[in-house]
Amino acid sequence: MPMSTLSVPNISLMALDDLSDISCISVPLKGLFMRAYVIGNVTIDETIAVSEMPAAGASVLGRQRSRDLGGKGANQAVIMARCGLPTTLVAAIGEGFRADAIREHLAEEPVVNHLIALPGRSTDFSVVLTTPDGENLNVTTTDAAQNLPLAEAVAGLADAGPGDLAVLQGNLTDETTRGVLEAASSRGMITVFNPSPLRSFFCGLWPFIDIAFLNEGEALALTGTSGEEACRRLLATGVREVVLTFGGNGAMLASGDAMIRVPSVPCTVVDTTGAGDTFMAVALASAALRGSRLDRTAIEHAARAAAITVSRPGTRSAFPTRSQLAAIFAVG
């Protein structure tokens, strides 16, 4: 299949203040200018601040910090669209007041919405616990996401073509996830997958995935090892690029025989919810909008955007605004 190259960043999920030491490597992909199709979940996030994460069986006091649009699929789609990259969100919603709230939130964003309404199903929501040091614990329901029909999901790709992005996460069923990846690959799309939340069927998906983003816990669960060896095992399955993140200890990018380790730069963190979604979405959008490979500029743009996200609480409300993203893109 004809290939052009796009360079994927040495990604850290921590917000970075200084990227002077970051480099990039070239990634074989199937197109240059892209549109993004995010096939995933959409939720209403209820964020509760607690003094510390509760132990099993414990009861703790908390206070509600925000009620916001969320879900990894919606997060990535909203951020890419705010960047100015044409973006379609393909997601299922159920019934009730949360479905109405999702429609209202998304109507305020420049994303194209392909929402599949499922009568008799509950709209998905998340309960996010955050601690004073910015760490979070997220529990998400999947009644809508798990019942997104494959045919409806693939229909959302009707106008997609070679070089467009197909971005998926771990919230859909095996059948739908696999079917969408196969459909995207057959169209020459670039497939991007984040195996979160972890599911038992992920190991059979790697041959359909161009780029995988995962943290060290996910890598250990899926490969039985960590670090460079985890990357090698995933590359051996057919994944072209592996981005392995270590939180405050940086990230590793693996491509073929290249392994690059990138440290994180410390910063003030209020809430890490959505930081990884922000970083990935802005990096990809920056490169696509410049008709460029993912390069140092894309990484700098992404890190500046992620720094905004982690500096304030919430989900969508914490993401950079369109004007902030425009200002970021105007530099370098």
Least confident of 33-42, 158-167, 263-272, 316-325: 263-272
Which entry of 124, 164, 210, 277 is annotated as an active-site residue? 277
Locate 53 and state its tokens: 């994460």
> Between 280 and 16, whose confidence is greater?
280
Is 270's pLDDT higher than 70? yes
- Say which DSSP state 162 is in: T
Judge contact between 143 and 161, C-beta under 8 A.
Answer: no
What pLDDT does residue 254 have? 79
Pairwise CA distance, residues 302 & 245, whole Å = 15
Pairwise CA distance, residues 50 & 55, whole Å = 12
Is 117's pLDDT higher than 50? yes
Pairwise CA distance, residues 151 & 145, whole Å = 14
Query: Catalytic annotation on 68?
Result: no
Q: Span 84-91, mean pLDDT?
A: 97
Residue 84 labeled ligand binder:
no
Is 114's pLDDT higher than 90? yes
Least confident of 25-39, 170-184, 252-266: 25-39
Phi, psi (rounded to 5 degrees) for 240:
-80, -35
Q: Could you tell me how far CA 159 lies from the centroid of its own chain? A: 22
What pLDDT does residue 293 have? 66
Residue 21 labeled ligand binder:
no
Phi, psi (rounded to 5 degrees) for 31:
-165, 180
> Is the alpha carbon torsion for 183, 184, 185, 188 positive or negative?
positive
Judge contact between 191 and 168, C-beta under 8 A.
Answer: yes
H/E element holding 38?
strand 36-39
Residue 133 labeled ligand binder:
no
**Residue 21: which pLDDT band, with cuts at 50, 70 and 90?**
very low
> Between 287 and 55, whose confidence is greater?
55
What pLDDT does residue 34 have? 81
Q: What is the pTM of this model?
A: 0.83
Pairwise CA distance, residues 83 & 116, whole Å = 25
Judge contact between 106 and 113, C-beta under 8 A.
Answer: yes
Judge contact between 72 and 171, C-beta under 8 A.
Answer: yes
Is 171's pLDDT higher than 60? yes
Pairwise CA distance, residues 25 & 253, whole Å = 9
What pLDDT does residue 310 have? 85
Least confident of 51-55, 178-182, 190-194, 277-281: 277-281
What pLDDT does residue 44 have? 96
Least confident of 244-248, 263-267, 302-306: 263-267
What pLDDT does residue 332 have? 67
Pairwise CA distance, residues 295 & 285, whole Å = 12
Amino acid identity at 241: E
**Residue 276: which pLDDT band, with cuts at 50, 70 and 90?**
confident
Judge contact between 262 and 272, C-beta under 8 A.
Answer: no
What pLDDT does residue 12 have? 34
What pLDDT does residue 23 have? 33
Task: Residue 185: give its domain's CATH number.
Answer: 3.40.1190.20
Judge contact between 319 and 309, C-beta under 8 A.
Answer: yes
User: Taking each helix axis from N to C terminus, what angle separates 72-83 and 322-329, rounded to the nearest 10 degrees?
Assistant: 60
Residue 68 labeled ligand binder:
no
Residue 297 labeled ligand binder:
no
**Residue 271: which pLDDT band, with cuts at 50, 70 and 90?**
confident
Residue 72 labeled ligand binder:
yes
H/E element holding 24?
strand 24-29
What pLDDT does residue 5 have? 36
Per the structure, how many domains does the chain have? 1
Residue 245 labeled ligand binder:
yes
What pLDDT does residue 207 have? 93
What pLDDT does residue 138 have? 86
> Which residue range forms the structural domain that includes residue 265?
4-329
Residue 248 labeled ligand binder:
yes
**Residue 28: which pLDDT band, with cuts at 50, 70 and 90?**
very low
Residue 314 labeled ligand binder:
yes
